[in-house]
Chains A and B, each alone.
Chain A
Amino acid sequence: MRHLVAVAVLAVAATGIARAEDVGQVKVAKGMVQVERAGKRVPATVGMPIQQSDVVITGADGSAGITFSDNSLLSTGPNSVLVVDRYSFDTTTHDGHFDASLKKGTLAVVSGKMVKQTPGSMRVRTPSAIMGVRGTEFVVQVDEPTKK
C-alpha cells in the first residue's frame, strides 16, 4: 500500500509543474530502470523529475538518460547504480555544485552551464577515485570486484 502511494505521488509529480526540489528530469528510460527515493524504489518513466539524493538503478537490459536544470546530461548503461549526491544551481549567476557517484556500471557525462561558469564545480565519484569535471564529455566504467 505504501508502495502504491509512493508510485501515485511520483506519477502526479511527473505530469505536473516543475518544482524547486526537482533538479532534473528523466528523458530516456529503456528496459528496467528504477529510481530510489527515501528508501522506496519506483520504476522510472520518461518525464519523471529527479531530485537530490535520488539513486538511479538499471537492470541488465536497462539504460537511462537525465537532463539537469543547468543543461548537464547524465546517462547510465546496463547494471548500473548512480547516485545524485548533491545538486544546486543558481539560474542567474550559473554558480552551483554537482556531486554524483557511480557505484557500478557505466556513466556518460556532458557537463552543463555550471561547469562552463566554474570549471571543477561538478565531481563524479567512483569507489576508487574522484573526477573533477572541467568540461565537457566523458565516460566512466566501474566493474564489480571479481570474486577471488
Chain B
Amino acid sequence: MGAVIVALVGALMVFLHASPLGDELVVVMPSADGHIGKVVVERGDQRAVLDGPYAASRIVAGGAPVAERLPESEVRAEFAAVLQALPDRPKTFLVYFQEGTDELTPESRVEFEKILADLRQRAAPDVVVIGHTDRVGNLQYNDKLSLQRAERVRAELVKLGIPEGRIEVAGRGEREPLVATDDEVAEPRNRRVEINVR
C-alpha cells in the first residue's frame, strides 16, 4: 500500500515537472575557419561545458542536461533550415592606392571588381569604409587624402546600388599605419582603404 502511494506521488511529481517544458537540445558547431567554440549550459545549479565539435547537451522535459556527441550528418539534417537562414558572414577587404592620389593601384582595381561582386550578392549590406595614407605629407594633408580615398570607394558602392545611408565613411589619415614607418616614408601598404561589410 505504502509503495503504491510513493509510486503514485512519484508519477505525479514527474508529470507536474514535465508538463510545462518540452525537450531541448544545444549543439556546438565548428566555425567556418575550423575553430571550435564553447558554450556553457546552465540549468539551476547544474552546469555543463560544451567544447568539442558537435558536442551536445539534451534536456528532456525539464530534466537534468545529458551530454552527448552527435554525428555531423544528423545535426546538419536536423538544423538544415535554420543553418540555411544564417546571413552572409561579415567581411573586411583592403584596397591600395597610388601615391598621393585617390586612384587605385592596377592590382587593387582588379581586386575591387571581385569585392563589388561579393557586395552585389549580399542582401541589404551595411558598409563602413575607412581611408588611410602613408606618412608622406603633413597630418592635415593626409587626413584630407584618406577621406578622399574613402569617398571615392563610397561613390563606386553607391553606383552599385547600395543606398548612401547604409555606407559610413571615415578618414584616419596617417594615424593607423599597417606598417610602422618614420615620418615622410612612402609605404604602399599604408595607402589603403578598408571596406567592412555586414
Contact = CB atoms under 8 A, between A and B. Distances in A.
Interface of A: 15-18, 25-28, 30, 46-47, 63-67, 71, 73, 75-78, 80, 104, 106-108, 110-112, 119-120, 126-146, 148
Given A138-B28, A140-B26, A132 B42 contact: yes
What 10 A-B pairs are tightest by C-beta distance, nearest first? A77-B82, A27-B87, A143-B22, A134-B38, A47-B124, A17-B165, A63-B85, A75-B85, A132-B40, A77-B81
Interface in B58-72: 59, 61-62, 65
Given A67-B90, A73-B89, A75-B87, A137 B37 contact: yes
Given A75-B87, A78-B81, A129-B65, A145 B19 contact: yes
Contacts of A127: 20-22, 24, 62
B82 A142 contact: no
Q: How large is the interface on B (under 10, 10 to 19, 20 to 34, 35 or more residues)?
A: 35 or more
Given A73-B89, A137-B30, A139-B75, A25 B21 contact: no
Given A17-B165, A28-B85, A145-B20, A140 B25 contact: yes
Given A25-B126, A120-B40, A130-B42, A77 B25 contact: no
B38 A135 contact: yes
Interface in B31-72: 31, 35, 37-43, 50-51, 57, 59, 61-62, 65
B93 interface: no
Contacts of A144: 22
Among the interface residues B38, B82, B88, which one has the most CB atoms of the partner chain A within 10 A?
Answer: B82
B124 A64 contact: no
A138 B26 contact: yes
B119 interface: no
A136 to B, nearest CB: 4
Contact of A132 (B35, B39, B122): B39
B68 to A, nearest CB: 14
B42 A129 contact: yes
Given A73-B87, A104-B22, A142-B22, 19 more contacts: A25-B124, A27-B122, A47-B123, A66-B87, A67-B90, A73-B89, A77-B81, A77-B85, A108-B82, A111-B37, A120-B40, A127-B21, A127-B62, A128-B62, A132-B40, A135-B35, A136-B31, A137-B37, A139-B79
